[in-house]
Amino acid sequence: LKLWNLLIIGAGPAGLRAAIAAAEEGLEVKIIDEFSKVGGRLLGQLHQEPSGKWWNGIEEANTLHQKAINLGVAIECGTSVHDLESSYLRWKVYTSKGVEEAENLLLATGATEVPLPMPGWTLPGVMSIGAAQVMGNVHRVKPGNSCVIIGANVLSIAIANELRLCGIEVKEIIIPLANISSKDDGNPEKVMESLMRLTHLAPSSFLRQAGKLAKLVNPSIAAKFYPKNGIKIDNIPIKIKTAAAEIIGDQKVTGVKTVQVKPNGEIIPNTEKVTEVDFVCIAGGLAPLPELAALSGCSFKYVHELGGHVPVHSERMDTNVPNLFVAGNITGVESAKVAMAQGKVAGLVIASAVKGSSETINAAIKKAVNEVRKVREEALIQFQPNIVDARKLIYRQFEQDKVEDRVVSIS
């Protein structure tokens, strides 16, 4: 059995970029991914940047893929990882095809969509917004001719336009009813607040306007005066005071029963209406996908701004488990560009651990860490405010855990 210097789980932007950085330093690297194509969430991404240039995730993925192949990185798609263990400084990773062994392991598993359970959501034709995105942009199949999107956030507004480009009529973007699982997503004031927090860099003119509006009025006033029939962007009405009461259909979706809600999310009686559609998208946002990190025994911290529980790690992308590294959305939900920059840091840090540190590689790591900070600042899609502070919280926890480990081993 081959012993890899570095095994990477996840062939998305973080995993691919890490593989390239490590292979450039002479490491033997393998990447495993359970999807049939390389690129992870990059594959679905398609939006226009303020410069007018299109961010085409498929092209970005192809470029990274080709670079990795040219550097001799082994890439295995269609393989799932279900367990891992470390003994005598060797990782054993159990996959659907067998076992892999490596000195270093990088988890770049990305993020998963947060479900918003509601009546009727198990009907065929109800899917996550990311599912529709992949169906349209990657498989080039429309899940139907018309849809409603439930959940008004930066991701759903961006993908609504992508569905429109596939020739799908997005009849409206509405919100879920306020309940224990939808939380702030079902509160128009909170939805308005989060849309207005988006900066002038946001990937749509509506969001840029909302960002400017935020400087003038507060979100609860904006929610109060938000028009009942919504504001259109790319011809798609965004209705933050219309909520999905039930998804209806027999054996398959036929429509969404909606109600009008007050700015605090309370239902306004006698406002029921049915919007007929072929399919429904649920947009509950993203959360880090950390199960494999949990199997390794590494410690976690819940950080709301990062999307949920994340493995405690340093800015060098190492965790408190020896030879275990993380990069990309598993460390917190941010854009693909941030994931790539983090991947590069991880690849270089692992290379310096394998090959020995030198002035050159230390300088390269320092530069790569600074690059992550810069990319984060300039990020087009900022999923949450205060990302920088939330990140610092994780890095502090990492240092604290290290000190506690030392105290335990002395006593």
Q: Pick from 144, 285, 311, 343: which binds another protein (CB under 8 A)?
A: 144
Instruction: Kindly determine how many residues on this chain lie close enough to bind another protein according to the rule CB under 8 A.
Output: 40
**Closest distance between another protein and the C-beta of residue 307, in Å?**
15
Q: Which is nearer to another protein, 90 or 142 (CB)?
A: 142
294 belongs to the binding site for another protein (CB under 8 A): no
Q: Pick from 4, 35, 325, 383: which binds another protein (CB under 8 A)?
A: 35
58 belongs to the binding site for another protein (CB under 8 A): yes
Q: What whole-number distance in Å separates Cα of residue 250 and Cα of residue 131? A: 21
Closest Cα to residue 136, out of 171, 166, 156?
A: 166
143 belongs to the binding site for another protein (CB under 8 A): yes
Q: Pick from 82, 97, 228, 252: which binds another protein (CB under 8 A)?
A: 252
Length of the chain: 411
Q: What whole-number distance in Å separates Cα of residue 134 and Cα of residue 113? A: 13
248 belongs to the binding site for another protein (CB under 8 A): no
Stretch that binds another protein, among 128-136, 169-177, 186-194, 292-300 (CB under 8 A): 128-136
Q: Which is nearer to another protein, 11 or 364 (CB)?
A: 11
Contact criterion met (CB below 8 Å) for 36 and 78 = yes
The phi, psi pair for 58, rounded to 5°, reads -65, -45
Q: Residue 294 CB: number of other CB atoms within 10 A?
A: 12
209 belongs to the binding site for another protein (CB under 8 A): no
Cα separations in angstroms, 150 against 70, 158, 159, 353: 43, 14, 12, 46
Letters for 104-123 (x = contact with another protein by CB under 8 A, - = none) are --------xx-x------xx
Is residue 399 classed exposed, middle or buried when 0-12, 13-18 and 19+ CB atoms within 10 A define those classes?
exposed
Q: Which is nearer to another protein, 125 or 332 (CB)?
A: 125
Residue type, 45: Q
Q: Pick from 166, 201, 375, 393: which binds another protein (CB under 8 A)?
A: 166
Stretch that binds another protein, among 251-259, 308-316, 378-386, 392-400 (CB under 8 A): 251-259
- Structure-token pair, residue 224: 């109060």
78 belongs to the binding site for another protein (CB under 8 A): yes
Q: Pick from 49, 66, 72, 139: which binds another protein (CB under 8 A)?
A: 139
Q: Pick from 141, 221, 268, 363: which binds another protein (CB under 8 A)?
A: 141
165 belongs to the binding site for another protein (CB under 8 A): yes
**Secondary structure element (H or E) that encloses residue 270, with its range:** none
- Structure-token pair, residue 402: 């290290």
- Structure-token pair, residue 393: 């919280």
Q: What whole-number distance in Å separates Cα of residue 44 and Cα of residue 289? A: 18
137 belongs to the binding site for another protein (CB under 8 A): yes
Reduced to 3 states, what is the DSSP secondary structure of residue 136?
A: helix
167 belongs to the binding site for another protein (CB under 8 A): yes
Q: Which is nearer to another protein, 43 or 351 (CB)?
A: 43
Q: What whole-number distance in Å separates Cα of residue 43 and Cα of residue 37? A: 9
Q: What whole-number distance in Å separates Cα of residue 150 and Cα of residue 277? A: 13
The phi, psi pair for 3, rounded to 5°, reads -100, 110
Q: Pick from 16, 46, 148, 191: which binds another protein (CB under 8 A)?
A: 46
398 belongs to the binding site for another protein (CB under 8 A): no
Burial annotation 135-147 (CB, 10 A radius, 16+ → b, else e): bbbbeeebbbebb
**Closest distance between another protein and the C-beta of residue 289, in Å?**
7
Contact positions vs another protein (CB under 8 A): 34-36, 46, 54, 56, 58, 78, 80, 112-113, 115, 122-128, 130-132, 134-137, 139-144, 165-167, 251-253, 279, 289
